Chains A and B, each alone.
Chain A
Amino acid sequence: MNMLDIAVSYNRYRFLGREFLTWLWYELETNANRAGSIDPEIASVEIGDRMVLENRGPAGLEVVTIKGDDPGLEEGLTALKKGALVSELTLLFKAAEHQWRLSLKGESLHITGLKVPKTGPVETEADMDGAVLEKVFLVERAVRLIEGLFSRFIRIRISDRWRAETVPAIQKWIGT
């Protein structure tokens, strides 16, 4: 894949990221335990305190941002009904007593604002290497979860199931 292909594919398939985040919200709302099959130690994955939806209609771009400790997600559903898709969301997930928090941007799937459980104190250079390895492990856990969820989405997305089952189910969820 050359650099031109990369730039072209970024633009041509940018809808995939927004469809993924919309699907993810639907999945988490209708079956919160699905992440368990990607990482059995993950007890829960939930939508966090921020979500951005974009509607690229003929009237131009309309952006709806929902935030707060208890975000009013019904406002998000209203935006979906009007044809918007999720362009950014915050996720929280827990394994044992530890919590991870991150934001995902649909277009790039960049992970931003990732907060992982605290690593041990660093007093010597040897401690530093240990802390780096621990941090990498904790970051990797978040990366693997996102990759696992995306991989599941894309397999459904390219299958006949997407049109036959998933889209009607999402449409039904949006309508309820």
Chain B
Amino acid sequence: MGLMSASVSLSRFRVEGTLEPPVLETVEKGLKAHAISEFGDESVEKAVGWTSFHTPYRADFEDHGFVVGPHAVFSLRIDKKSVPAKVFQKSVAEASARRLAQSGRAYLSKSEKKMIKDEVSQQLIVRMPATPNVYDLVWNIEDKVLWFFSTLKSANEELESMFARSFQLTLIRLFPFTMADLTAGLSDAERDALTKLTPSKMTA
């Protein structure tokens, strides 16, 4: 579900660190350096990278096309290959039967079974097309605020790691404590009081 979907879900982040000027060129450079690439190595299960918000299946960051008003708007794409469990089971059974027939034995050893599973997994991964998942983000560079349009834990973790690699900036997830600590405008004394809080009993 992206930014323009009828119903959106979002995680919010505070961006820590400073971009090297000129800022937009630095962002463009980071996006291009870590743009999603089509699977070069067909045996790889997952590819992660940035893509364009407007054209998610063709990463194009030329001419600051990612700039919309005061925001940088682009997307994180995670392409994943997965083998359906039943296809895997069938292929393993077939490969095991072939091995037994070749060896003339009645049983396979534990290590042979593992080797067959690994080989089958590799062969099937190569043949499977990758499923792309696109997650939009809106980054207000000046305000150091970023919205990521997914609350999926795995996608959020990929975002944090890809963002750090691309821009040398840290994303701080905003949840109750970090919102209070970083965005509520509290004084040092108030932030100190915040760290001493313990749960309250709401019933008499």
Contacts and interface: CB of A to CB of B under 8 A. Distances in A.
Interface of A: 1, 6, 9-10, 12-17, 19-20, 22, 80-83, 85, 106-115, 119, 125, 128-129, 131-133, 135-136, 139, 143, 147, 150-151, 154-155, 157-158, 162-163, 167, 170-171, 174-175
B183 A147 contact: yes
B176 A109 contact: yes
A28 to B, nearest CB: 16
Interface residues of B, number: 43
A131 B69 contact: no
Contacts of B190: 155, 158
Interface of A is mostly: helix
Most central of A109, A128, A143, A157 by chain B CB within 10 Å: A109
Contacts of B8: 114, 139
A10 B10 contact: no
B184 A150 contact: yes
A109 B175 contact: yes
Contacts of A83: 201-203
A130 B6 CA distance: 16
B106 to A, nearest CB: 50
A81 B202 CA distance: 8
B142 to A, nearest CB: 14
Interface stretch (B78-86, B91-99, B192-200): B192-200
Contacts of B138: 136, 139
A155 B186 CA distance: 8
Contacts of B182: 1
A82 B69 CA distance: 50
Given A13-B197, A136-B3, 12 more contacts: A9-B177, A80-B202, A108-B151, A113-B7, A128-B54, A136-B69, A136-B73, A147-B184, A151-B185, A154-B184, A163-B200, A171-B204
Contact of B203 (A15, A80, A133, A136): A80
Given A110-B10, A113-B9, A6 B202 contact: no
Contacts of A111: 9-10, 12
B101 interface: no
B11 interface: yes
Contacts of A132: 3-4, 53, 68, 73
